[in-house]
Amino acid sequence: MAPPPINDDDAGLVARSRGGDNAQPLTISEISALLKRTVEDRFGYVRLRGELSGVKRAASGHFYCALKDEGAVIDGVMWKGNAQRLAFRAEDGLEVIATGKLTTYPGRSKYQIVIDSLELAGEGALLALLEKTRARLAAEGLFADSKKRRLPFLPQVIGVVTSPTGAVIRDILHRLADRFPTHVVVWPVLVQGQGAADQVAAAVRGFSALEPGGPVPRPDVVIVARGGGSIEDLWSFNEEVVVRAIAECTIPVISAVGHETDTTLADFAADRRAPTPTAAAEMAVPVRADLAMTLADLGARQRRAVYRPVELGRERLAARARLLPRPEALLQAQTQRLDRTRLTPALIDRPLRAGTDRLAALTRVMSQLHPEKPLERGYAIIRDAAGKALTTRAEAAREAALVLQFRDGRLDAVPATDSAAPRKPAATPNPVAPRKQDDLFG
């Protein structure tokens, strides 16, 4: 409806009612309320597509932004409860679809959208966000090759961060059992949807915080695994919280998210990327049978290395032995001499018997010529005090004391002088005339 014409005569200093005008002037608050009610009743919930701009989070947790396209801009606000449930990190330049309710803000005479949910506008926007996040984290050095660690050759404990009910954990356990049975500790998490990223990050940090020798074994390597899916399904492993947890983990990490063609930021942060969860198990442990064969081969090589010098010594000894004369040649002359001796045994026996007879005769003569042999026939040996044998009367007369040695012992004696009267022989009952005793001194 066209506004009523303005008459110059009506213009004045004080406002007056005009003819036919039965409406009272509205206050600013009243018109703002009318506008608010009209907008909210007319549009209700809408979905808007635009590019994020001026993104910021207030200390209260509320999220503020602007949505724009080539020709217009509308402000947006997301209250704390909904902002905490955002599935991605909102940044300037991202193309999104915002779902919410249009309303007005009377304090600034603006209209805005109260956003209930915010989604990326297609995979193109998702890939753009992924690239922006990758570039930002790479600039911080989270993906540097210098930070990559070698995996342990033979881990005693393997930690697995994945869903406890999916096929992924079964594939990992089966492959480990086939290759090299190893103790496995599973940290169950969501691998998709709201809260999955926080759970995965908490699991990685939890394994890293375990103390050696504690009630829960500390893994030597951690596998972060999930099966294949769309980029949206795998998005939790592109979240910054997961990437930082993997990069800061004190245990070597293998990322096994999706299939071979899938790539997530977790792959860049991990120490090794596996194309599949099964391949991650193969990376984690060697094949026990191959290891046993390798050990057996090394043992055989060690034995050969030990025995080789012995074999070389034998070969050298055999070569030198061939240069030596044969033992038969060395002993030929002695053998002939021995043969001749065996042919004439009498030449050896006869001189031996003759020598034996002579020795026996000399033994008999010696026994008869022994100086003490006559003692057995009643003779005595006269010795001086020093034990020297005396053979003459004169020698005995000069001694003050004599020792007479008989067959059964010795007797001390004193030689008699010439003036001493000879003793009268004792009477004997034998009627035979007594035998005159020989003069001891001749």
Same-domain check for residues 167 and 234: yes
Dihedral sign from CA coordinates of 98, 102, 105, 108: positive
Q: How far apart are CA 161 and CA 189, in angstroms?
A: 7
Query: Tens digits of per-residue pLDDT, 216-241?
Result: 999 999 999 999 888 888 989 999 99
Lowest mean pLDDT segment, chosen from 13-27, 28-42, 200-214: 13-27
Residues 282 and 168 in one domain: yes
298 and 276, same structural domain?
no
Question: For residue range 50-66, what is the model confidence (pLDDT) as tens digits?
Answer: 888 889 989 998 999 99
Last residue within a domain, chosen from 286, 314, 345: 286
Average pLDDT value over all residues in the chain:
84
pLDDT band at 148 (very low <50, low <70, confident <90, very high): very high
* Identity of the amino acid at 79: W
Q: What is the pLDDT of residue 149?
A: 93
**344: pLDDT strictly greater than 60:** yes
Q: How much is the average pLDDT of 174-189?
A: 94
Does residue 342 form part of some domain?
Answer: no
State whether 313 and 184 are in the same domain: no
Q: Are residues 89 and 177 in the same domain?
A: no
Report yes or no on 199 lying in a domain: yes
Average pLDDT of the residues in 200-217? 94
Domain shared by 60 and 160, yes or no: no
Task: Report the CATH number at residue 107.
Answer: 2.40.50.140
236 within 8 A of 242, measured Cβ to Cβ: yes
Say if residue 299 is in the same domain as residue 315.
yes
Q: Quote the distance between the C-alpha of residue 104 and its chain's center.
A: 67
User: Is position 422 within any domain?
Assistant: no
- Kindly state the tokens that stand for 256: 């096994």
Nearest one of 192, 189, 215 to 204, comparing CA atoms: 189
Of the listed ranges 64-73, 177-186, 411-420, the one predicted with least confidence = 411-420
Residue 36 lies in a domain: yes
Domain for residue 337, yes or no? Answer: no
**Structure token pair of residue 206:** 């939890």
267 with 137, same domain? Answer: yes
**Which pair of structure tokens corresponds to residue 373?**
């042999």
Q: How many domains does the chain have?
A: 4
On the question of pLDDT at 170 being above 90, the answer is: yes
- Residue keyed to tokens 């010696």: 366
Q: Decide if pLDDT at 305 tops 50.
A: yes
Place of tokens 């009272």: 24
Whether the model pTM is above 0.75: no
**The predicted structure's pLDDT at residue 298:** 92
Q: What is d(CA 102, CA 105) in angstroms, rounded to the nearest whole number? A: 10
Q: Which amino acid is at 116?
A: D
Residue 77 lies in a domain: yes
Q: Out of 102-106, 213-217, 269-273, give the one with best mean pLDDT.
A: 269-273
Q: Is 48 a member of any domain?
A: yes
Confidence of residue 140 (pLDDT cuts 50, 70, 90): very high
> Which tens digits make up the pLDDT trace of 2-23?
555 555 555 557 666 665 566 6
Rounded Cα distance, 263 and 240, in Å: 15
Q: Rounded distance, CA 272 to CA 283, Å?
A: 9
What pLDDT, on the 0 to 100 scale, is given for residue 397?
Answer: 85
Same domain? For 252 and 139 the reply is: yes
Residues pairing with 404 in the sheet: 382, 411
102 and 197 share a domain?
no
Least confident interval from 34-43, 190-199, 204-213, 393-402:
34-43
Q: Per the domain annotation, does 331 fall within a domain? A: no
Domain region containing 137: 132-144+154-286
Q: Which of 137, 124, 112 has its CA nearest to residue 46?
A: 112
137, 281: one domain: yes
Cβ pair 252, 120 in contact under 8 A? no
Check whether residue 140 and residue 265 sit in a common domain.
yes
Given a cut of 50, whether residue 264 has pLDDT beyond it is yes
User: Using 50, 70 and 90 to split pLDDT, how confident is the model at 180?
Assistant: very high
For the stretch 381-421, pLDDT in tens is 888 888 888 888 888 888 888 888 888 888 888 887 654 44
CA distances from 258 to 195, 239, 264 (A): 19, 15, 9
Read off the CATH number of the domain in which 215 is found. Answer: 3.40.50.10550
Q: Which pLDDT tens digit goes with each residue over 94-132?
A: 888 899 988 888 777 788 899 998 888 877 777 888 888
